[in-house]
Structure 1
Amino acid sequence: MDIEKRIKYIESRIDMINQLLENIESNFVEETRKIDEKIKLLNNEISKLKKEVNELKIKINAILDQLSLFATSERVSIIEKYIDLINPFEFVTIKELEKILDKKIREILKNREK
Structure 2
Amino acid sequence: MSGGHVLTDNEQGKGMVNKISVMKGRQSGEVEIATLFGQKFFKFARISWEQHGSRSAGKAATGAILGTVVAGPLGTIAGAAIGGKKKDTSTAYIYLIDDDGVEHEVHVQCTKEQYTQISRIAY
TM-score category by the smaller chain?
under 0.3
TM-score normalized with structure 2 length? 0.21
Q: Which has the higher helix share?
A: 1
Q: Which has the higher strand share?
A: 2
